[in-house]
Chain A
């Protein structure tokens, strides 16, 4: 147990010193700063205003860029250490593979999760100082969604990292998965829907297997379902399932997906040659 935290702690320290972490934090912090500068909180377009609007814009952008950030920075963690013989040395000490692997997972999770939540917190605090009303429900929902989003893609990244032979291939796979979940599934489903050969429930069910789609819908689930920004899938879901149930689903399901992939990655890590 002690070693698990030691490894997580050392991985965290190592990440924080890395250049990618600096860029990563600047992107999300900068996003919030930018919103304030351009006055998003003052605008009154389309029914929501102030901090709610800012948070909504923040999460919509985050849903797109966080996964690729997590994938490209994490996908090389184990395969990279294997490539340059770090594993060969670090694993020559009597540490259990379980502690090593899950320690890395936990360390990475903290590294990727904290900056995005922190950026949101800054927005809340700054907004409060400026006298805006704080949308707590949205804030907590988004904190949970970001947790789930980080888990899902971190798990997938560790899974890829455990079996790829080289870092370059890992990057390629990561990029493909991101694009696939981001756009291709939607495009394919829309095509199917237009042909009207399958019923709506089936198509929407498939759409919801994709964690990115769940996030998109969940992110606007607290807003009025009549809003036009929502799109057909979101409208259908929020019209059919109770809001509470859907919010829970949108957090629990991606966390499970992440754990499943991380666990598969662990199995492969222990079953294959280590170096």
Chain B
């Protein structure tokens, strides 16, 4: 469970999160929406413990994601908005993930395969040399391979072709049980079948929160 209380975060003079209070529970599948710059990514990064809030607090399963980052992050899988230009080869990246998180290589390969990503062929290629869609597929495969009960996607389908999107939602549908699933998306119709809660943000505030 994720509990956010009176959370505010300022960057210089922009107030990116303005007194946000919200809770996410098990079996919540959330579509998080809102205009560009509304504060969605900032909210997600606060859950991951990257930001020191100006006021308020974030608790993930009762723990502070900054002070107990390892405990908290063991339960979270995350796919960022843009695949970063990581220079490690895929093989090395998987080494890093196996070493630092409880994710098995076979599982990553399995999900990469399900996402129609030919990973064996690219194993020694630098991650940043993959195409945009391939990068995203790999990051999705890694997120799905983890056994975490919180899965956070910051617009994961931006670079995917329609076929890959279908694969992604199909795989996700199977994983959904007893988890918290948090999507940032600009296309509600895509995730409509998957989500049971819709949240809109604007100017750093939650402006609507509906269960459906």
- Residues of A that sit less than 8 Å from B by CB: 2-3, 6-7, 10, 13-14, 17-18, 84-86, 88-97, 271-275
Residues of A within 8 A of B50 (CB): 88, 91, 273-275
In the complex, given contacts A84-B84, A92-B48, what are 6 additional A-B residue pairs having Cβ atoms less than 8 angstroms apart? A85-B80, A88-B50, A89-B80, A89-B139, A92-B73, A93-B97
Question: Which residue of chain B has the shortest Cβ distance to A95 in the bound complex?
Answer: B100
Bound CA–CA A89/B128 (angstroms): 13
The answer to whether A94 touches B101, judged by C-beta atoms less than 8 angstroms apart, is yes
CB of B92 within 8 A of chain A? yes
The answer to whether A90 touches B45, judged by C-beta atoms less than 8 angstroms apart, is no
> Which among A10, A89, A271 has the highest number of chain B CB atoms within 10 Å?
A89
The answer to whether B80 touches A97, judged by C-beta atoms less than 8 angstroms apart, is no
The answer to whether B45 touches A3, judged by C-beta atoms less than 8 angstroms apart, is no
Residues of B within 8 A of A272 (CB): 52
Residues of B within 8 A of A97 (CB): 69
CB of B95 within 8 A of chain A? yes
Chain B, 23-63, CB within 8 A of any chain A CB: 45, 48-52
Residues of A within 8 A of B96 (CB): 6-7, 10, 90, 93
Bound CA–CA A6/B93 (angstroms): 11
Bound CA–CA A110/B97 (angstroms): 23
Residues of A within 8 A of B78 (CB): 89, 92
Number of interface residues of B (CB under 8 A): 30
List the 6 closest pairs (A to B, CB-CB), nearest first.
A94-B73, A95-B100, A92-B78, A85-B84, A274-B50, A93-B100
CB of B165 within 8 A of chain A? no
Residues of B within 8 A of A3 (CB): 99-100
Residues of B within 8 A of A14 (CB): 87-88, 92
Residues of B within 8 A of A7 (CB): 96
The answer to whether B82 touches A85, judged by C-beta atoms less than 8 angstroms apart, is yes
The answer to whether B69 touches A96, judged by C-beta atoms less than 8 angstroms apart, is yes
Residues of B within 8 A of A18 (CB): 87
Residues of A within 8 A of B132 (CB): none
The answer to whether A6 touches B95, judged by C-beta atoms less than 8 angstroms apart, is yes
Q: Measured between C-beta atoms, what is the minimum distance from B150 to chain A in Å?
A: 11
Residues of B within 8 A of A94 (CB): 69-74, 100-101
Contacts A88-B50, A94-B69; A6 near B99 (Cβ below 8 A): yes
Bound CA–CA A2/B7 (angstroms): 36
Residues of A within 8 A of B70 (CB): 94-96
The answer to whether B76 touches A90, judged by C-beta atoms less than 8 angstroms apart, is no
Bound CA–CA A95/B70 (angstroms): 6
Q: Measured between C-beta atoms, what is the minimum distance from B20 to chain A in Å?
A: 17
Contacts A2-B99, A6-B99, A10-B95; A92 near B76 (Cβ below 8 A): yes
Question: Which residue of chain B has the shortest Cβ distance to A88 in the bound complex?
Answer: B80
Q: Measured between C-beta atoms, what is the minimum distance from B14 to chain A in Å?
A: 14
The answer to whether B101 touches A86, judged by C-beta atoms less than 8 angstroms apart, is no
Question: Which residue of chain A has the shortest Cβ distance to B74 in the bound complex?
Answer: A94
> Which among B80, B86, B100 has the highest number of chain A CB atoms within 10 Å?
B100
> Which among A2, A93, A273 has the highest number of chain B CB atoms within 10 Å?
A93
The answer to whether A273 touches B51, judged by C-beta atoms less than 8 angstroms apart, is yes
Interface membership of chain B positions 129-166, coded 1 if the CB is closer than 8 angstroms to chain A and 0 otherwise: 00000000001000000000000000000000000000
The answer to whether A86 touches B84, judged by C-beta atoms less than 8 angstroms apart, is yes
Bound CA–CA A13/B96 (angstroms): 13
Q: Measured between C-beta atoms, what is the minimum distance from B160 to chain A in Å?
A: 18
The answer to whether B73 touches A89, judged by C-beta atoms less than 8 angstroms apart, is no
Bound CA–CA A274/B101 (angstroms): 19
The answer to whether A275 touches B69, judged by C-beta atoms less than 8 angstroms apart, is no
Question: Which residue of chain A has the shortest Cβ distance to B76 in the bound complex?
Answer: A92
Q: Measured between C-beta atoms, what is the minimum distance from B170 to chain A in Å?
A: 24
Q: Measured between C-beta atoms, what is the minimum distance from B88 to chain A in Å?
A: 6
Bound CA–CA A190/B6 (angstroms): 59
Question: Which residue of chain A has the shortest Cβ distance to B126 in the bound complex?
Answer: A17
Bound CA–CA A275/B81 (angstroms): 13
Bound CA–CA A147/B169 (angstroms): 53
Q: Measured between C-beta atoms, what is the minimum distance from B146 to chain A in Å?
A: 9
Bound CA–CA A243/B43 (angstroms): 60
Q: Measured between C-beta atoms, what is the minimum distance from B49 to chain A in Å?
A: 8
Bound CA–CA A3/B69 (angstroms): 15
